[in-house]
Structure 1
């Protein structure tokens, strides 16, 4: 899963090196997320801030009529399902999601 995600990002960046189109998708949640990180003096986890940003941006999209409410419900449901699997809360907390618990196969 991680390899596929990294390859997808590489493909998007290669397709849109100047961030003039599809690459903007990689910024989903980051505009609000970075503001939250700065507001927390960078003590909050980047992933947590981006996740909150994703929710906020989805809500704004629905309010502006550019995002379907059903899409927002689906994405938030997926985020909630992933979050319920748990992760570390120690300082500098590193993800403990299922992909990181699995042993690599050689």
Structure 2
């Protein structure tokens, strides 16, 4: 599943891996650079991996966010997981130090 430039993969061991995708526009053969950003274990939240019917990234937030911490347009703020028909929402934790994006590329 993808959200803007992020790829999310649910693995059989109940882990979710998130990857950043970057297109390399080299003519005549364009390619994609894939970088692992984060890996999350959902084993404490789901009874069995086969119970997961769907997984998606979204820009939804459950509470108001101060303007200082407001997300940029390209960041996913939440992960929605459908577990046997029940929808779980995991929101990004912004209380600790955050990785800053490079501005000079």
What's the TM-score bracket when you normalise by the shorter of the two chains?
under 0.3
Higher relative contact order (CA closer than 8 Å, sequence separation 6+): 2
Q: Taking structure 1 as the reference length, what is the TM-score of the superposition?
A: 0.25
Judging by fraction of residues, say which structure has more helix. Answer: 1
Judging by fraction of residues, say which structure has more strand. Answer: 2
